[in-house]
Structure 1
Amino acid sequence: MLTGYRESEKTMTQTIDRTAGARLAAICHNRIEEEIIRAYVRLVCTPDQPNGLRTQIVARFGTLEIRMTEALLGEVPPQAPRFRIEIYSHESDAVLDSGDYFEFDEDELRAAVDLVVSAQVKQFHLH
């Protein structure tokens, strides 16, 4: 009887761990989504750079900096994406990953969040 109880307790603990992990991932995704939206809105108030771009920092994770850049109208062809999110490493002084976006509709926003969360997870496992 006690063995059955321990197995049941172990199964319950694993279920709780998975549920807590899913909640934590959802919180992380929601927070990153909010930060991307905030950076998107802040771009409107950002002065134009001489190269025809505007840039905002979305988030920082250790040595990683998540940047959102907007190419101003007239600087890119109409069929090209105007927005880019870059995962920049201060440690290696290089862009590690990036994604291009047209307007951050639901699918693009989800892809951008996944890009950032993936970088955050990789940064966590490196340290």
Structure 2
Amino acid sequence: MKHARNNELSDRRSAASEAKAALLNAFRTAKDAAEPTRLAKQAERQAVAEAREERRAERERVKREELERAQAAEAERQAAAEAEARADADAREAADKDRIARVIADEAARKAARDLRYANRKARKS
């Protein structure tokens, strides 16, 4: 059913502005009514974000400690390997020195034996 009265431009404009004002008032009342729940949700999101940040910081701390432990173990293993290599080198050097000393002692003994033979031969000839 159509409106019985005649709608003029000014009537339509005032009706439109009243409708806009009613929508704006409805929005404001809904916003004011939802304010406590909005604040609660915002606080909850903030708490979740803080908890997430704490978990991330804990993961990083654990990861850093694990890395430091691994580096310390690697340094210890490397120091043990260097000590073992040094001990092997010292043992080889001692063995070489011992061998050289034995060779020199054998050489001196051979010279002494040769000199003794030479002296005995000279003694027999004279």
TM-score for the superposition, normalised by structure 2? 0.36
| Greater strand content | 1
Higher relative contact order (CA 8 A, sep 6+): 1
| Greater helix content | 2
**Larger of the two Rg values belongs to structure:** 2
TM-score for the superposition, normalised by structure 1? 0.36
